[in-house]
Amino acid sequence: MRYWAILPLFFLILFFLPLKLYPLSLIIMQVDNNNSNIDITFDLGNTPGFPPKVYPTCYFPSSGTQSNPNGVSISVMVINIFGQTISNAYLDVRASQNPSTSITCDQIYWTINPQTLPPPGTEPAHPWHPLTLTWTNVDEIPIVGRSIQRQYNMDMCFKLESDDNPTPPGGVSTTVYIRFYGL
């Protein structure tokens, strides 16, 4: 009689034994509390210290975002479910185009370590990096264990050069793309 109680358990184990749980990972990125389009403006006409006495001169955005007035805030997370599938995650950045013929995207600089602006007359140096038209790695994150979570405050600045032509009343713009992926 007691074998009848064990028999259904035996068939249940035989049924689920061939099934394999496949590794799965979740990759989540949020930019400034999940906003997909964020405007960062460099309105130099309304900025203290403009026009500069010496070139180049760098400026923080005149209007960044609510969570980071000098740029954007980025939150990333990787969760490995049912085993380790992602061993490294990458955060990259690039520009879509040059803002104009006289203003190129490499005049916009970024850093993930909040910094002060370079003194007037000097070029931005490390940890400031020029924005490019190709993907540039911001951070490589080794995934140890089941999950990671990181928060970045990406500051941005604009380097005004002496050969920059006056911009039209509507201004000039470029789009900055940020991507997060794992391998």
Number of structural domains in the chain: 1
Predicted confidence band of residue 135 (pLDDT cuts 50, 70, 90): very high
pLDDT at 40 over 90: no
pLDDT tens string 52-93: 899 999 988 887 777 888 888 889 988 877 666 788 899 999
Q: Which long-range contacts (CB under 8 A, 24 or more apart) does 18-21 make?
A: 21/82, 21/83
Domain limits for position 91: 24-182
Is 84 domain-assigned? yes
Is 15 domain-assigned? no
The pLDDT of residue 23 is: 65
Is 140 domain-assigned? yes
Is 8 domain-assigned? no
Which residues, in sequence order, are CB contacts of 12 under 8 Å at separation 6+? none
With 0-12 CB in 10 A as exposed, 13-18 as middle and 19+ as buried, what is 58?
buried
Is 16 domain-assigned? no
Residue 111's nearest CA partner among 87, 130, 134 is: 130
Which residues, in sequence order, are CB contacts of 144 under 8 Å at separation 6+? none
Mean pLDDT of 121-148: 92
Is 10 domain-assigned? no
Is 2 domain-assigned? no
